[in-house]
Structure formats: C-alpha cells, structure tokens
Amino acid sequence: MRQLAVYRNGTLAGILTEENRQKYLFQYDDNYLLSSDSQSISLTLPKSKQVYSSEILFPFFYNMLSEGMNLKLQSMTLKIDENDHFGLLAKTSQYDTIGAVTLKPLN
C-alpha cells in the first residue's frame, strides 16, 4: 500500500491511497472538511466524508502526470516504470504543479 498526502494551497486536504495497483482510494481529512474556507480539490471529488474508490487512478490525479516524450523522459530520469502512475505522481507532483493541488509521500 502506498499513500500520498494531498494538499490544496498548502493545506492538507486528504489522503490518496493505492492498494496493490488494483484499487485507489481518496478520503478528505476531517479538519479540512470542517473548515468553511476549504474547497473541493476537484469537481469530481466533492467535499464529503465518504471514501472515494476506483479501480483506476482517479482522472483528476492522472491528469497531473506528463504525457508523451515528457513522460518517457521523467520515467527514465527517475527510473520509474512509465505505467507506475502512482509512483510518477509521488515524484513529480510535490512542487510547481499547475493549479492549487500538490501531493507528497506519506511513508
């Protein structure tokens, strides 16, 4: 199991979990849910106590990855399989992302 902390504008918004490369979960942090100032990280993942579950990496997070030659270059440079989307996300989404969301490894 691998996990990433999901931040929105520097505030912990929730946890993204990968289980055996077969299941993905996203759950908002309780403190984030309680804050009236916090917003959903995406339209497809509205603020809710529910645990979101998917057999594929949620499109919102998948779309944070590079494509084409940039993906190949990142994979080679970082020595991560091109198809390890979660691993690439963990290494490439910590800084300078487009938008307000960043992800950082938990363990």
CA-to-CA distance for 2 and 20, rounded, in angstroms? 8
Q: What are phi and psi of 40, to 5 degrees?
A: -60, 150
84: Cβ contacts below 8 Å, ≥ 6 apart: none
Q: Give ∠ CA 49-33-6 in degrees, rounded to 5.
A: 90
Domain residue spans of the chain: 2-105
Q: How far is Cα 65 from Cα 85, in angstroms, rounded to an integer?
A: 8
Q: Could you tell me which residues come within 8 angstroms of residue 9 by beta carbon, excluding any fewer than 6 positions away?
A: 100
Tens place of pLDDT per residue across the chain (107 aa): 999 999 999 899 999 999 988 899 999 999 999 999 999 999 999 999 999 999 999 999 988 888 888 888 888 788 988 888 888 888 888 877 777 899 999 86
